[in-house]
Structure 1
Amino acid sequence: MRDSTHSAGPIELRVKDIGQIFHTLDPLPFRERDLDAAVEEYIVGWAGEIARGHDISIIVHLPTAEAQRAEALHIEEAMRNYFAYRSKVLGWELRDLFRRGRASLAIGLAVLALCIALGTGAGGLLGAGYLGRFLGEGLIILGWVANWRPVEIFLYDWWPIVRRRRLYLRLSLVHVKIEAEDSLAGNERRRVP
């Protein structure tokens, strides 16, 4: 379990090389690169625990030589660009989900109407006996089951996407601080101004 005192503090990354932060196979220029999947998961996991209303900041601990590279100056911009793009992608996913929901609803309602009509007709042909009731009620149940997916989409499926999109929007405003460090013996580290 994570320490709740961290929830308002900065997210800290300790890497040996700037390249560890970004996806290594991404051919785009540095400022437009995707974050490494593990780095993204780590940042998003910690950021999700920071209460809304609190700014999100990241401290990247780098060896002095890496912190002095020109790319280090663009880490904040690259992270902001990445999270802004991811929020747009989630917006597209949300629109696509609602489009599928509307199509599923139209199909589900048509199936329901057809099932009700067939069930009523079957009940009239077969009479009020068990077979007529079985077929009529079975068709009505089938019609309602056909609406299961659109109901699920409009009641439940969109909430996690909206929450994640809001988090990515918050992360698109992240403040990143670079801290240069020299390795000493063992796990001790000295911060270099």
Structure 2
Amino acid sequence: MSDETGKATIALKLRDSSQLFNTLDPFPFREGDLAADAEDYIVEWAGELPKDEPIAIVIHLQEPDAAGKPAPDLATAIRNWFADKARAETRALRELFRDGRLAFAIGFAVLAFCLFMSWLLTQGREGPFIRIFQESFIIVGWVVIWRPAEMFLYDWLPILRRRRLYRRLAQARVEVRAGPRG
């Protein structure tokens, strides 16, 4: 969605600021969890926006917060939430590569063992059953190495894409407008 100036903008129309947060979360707003629906909405729209433009989030509050109740700092809460999500994706990426290295070492060892056993057990023997036995060892060895290869080739891309999106949302300009939206 774009605003009247053509900038990449996500607009939320809320009754009050409490709709933005998880009502079961005991923490104050600044450290509270965004409601799952609000997060999904923001992330889904942000994914549709141009990748090279900064994001603006405009929150239209129909009713101001109750008197005597401290008004939450929505901009800080949203930016902190998505900065935490970006850090979590960075940790997930690190863990994926650490697990991938371990899986690759195990897979490579099993592949080498299977290839060696295939060679050793079929040395000097011929026939269709020997050939099936030999090929079975080779297939098992390659299947074992498949998952580590998949981790290094493909699994990191969605994590990197989410982290990039969360970082953009953590840097978003957040504007809160009170009163009914026209």
**What is the rounded CA distance, in whole Å, between the counterparts of 1:135 and 1:54 in structure 2?**
58
Q: CA deviation at 1:119?
A: 0.5
Greater CA deviation, 4-13 or 36-45? 4-13
Greater CA deviation, 98-107 or 74-83? 98-107
Match of 1:91 in 2: 90
Match of 1:186 in 2: none
CA shift digits 1:72-131 (9 cap, x unpaired): 4x1000001000000000111111111111111111111101101111111126x02112
**What is the rounded CA distance, in whole Å, between the counterparts of 2:66 and 2:145 in structure 1?**
56
For residue 177 of structure 1, give the secondary structure of its aligned residue in structure 2.
strand
Aligned counterpart in structure 2 of residue 134 of structure 1, from 132, 135, 142: 132
Is 2:2–2:10's contact at 8 Å kept on the other side of the alignment? no
Match of 2:76 in 1: 77
For residue 71 of structure 1, give the secondary structure of its aligned residue in structure 2.
coil
Match of 2:167 in 1: 169
Match of 1:10 in 2: 9
Is 1:8–1:50's contact at 8 Å kept on the other side of the alignment? no
**What is the rounded CA distance, in whole Å, between the counterparts of 1:8 and 1:99 in structure 2?**
39
Match of 1:150 in 2: 148
Name the aligned partner's letter for residue 37 of structure 1. A
CA distance change for structure 1 residues 147 and 67 in 2, over 3 Å: closer, same or farther? farther
Identical-pair percentage: 44
**Which structure 2 segments of 5+ residues have no match?**
none
Q: CA deviation at 1:65?
A: 2.4
Is 1:23–1:34's contact at 8 Å kept on the other side of the alignment? yes
After superposition, the CA RMSD in angstroms is 2.0
Greater CA deviation, 62-71 or 108-117? 62-71
For residue 118 of structure 2, give the secondary structure of its aligned residue in structure 1.
helix
For residue 61 of structure 2, give the secondary structure of its aligned residue in structure 1.
strand
Q: Which structure is higher in RCO with an 8 Å CA cutoff and minimum separation 6?
A: 2
**What is the rounded CA distance, in whole Å, between the counterparts of 2:168 and 2:108 in structure 1?**
39
Q: CA deviation at 1:9?
A: 3.5
**What is the rounded CA distance, in whole Å, between the counterparts of 1:64 and 1:26 in structure 2?**
22
CA shift digits 1:132-160 (9 cap, x unpaired): 21111110111000011011111111100
- Corresponding residue pairs, total: 179
Q: CA deviation at 1:70?
A: 4.0
Query: What TM-score do the two structures reach when normalised by structure 1?
Result: 0.86
Name the aligned partner's letter for residue 16 of structure 2. D
For residue 60 of structure 1, give the secondary structure of its aligned residue in structure 2.
strand
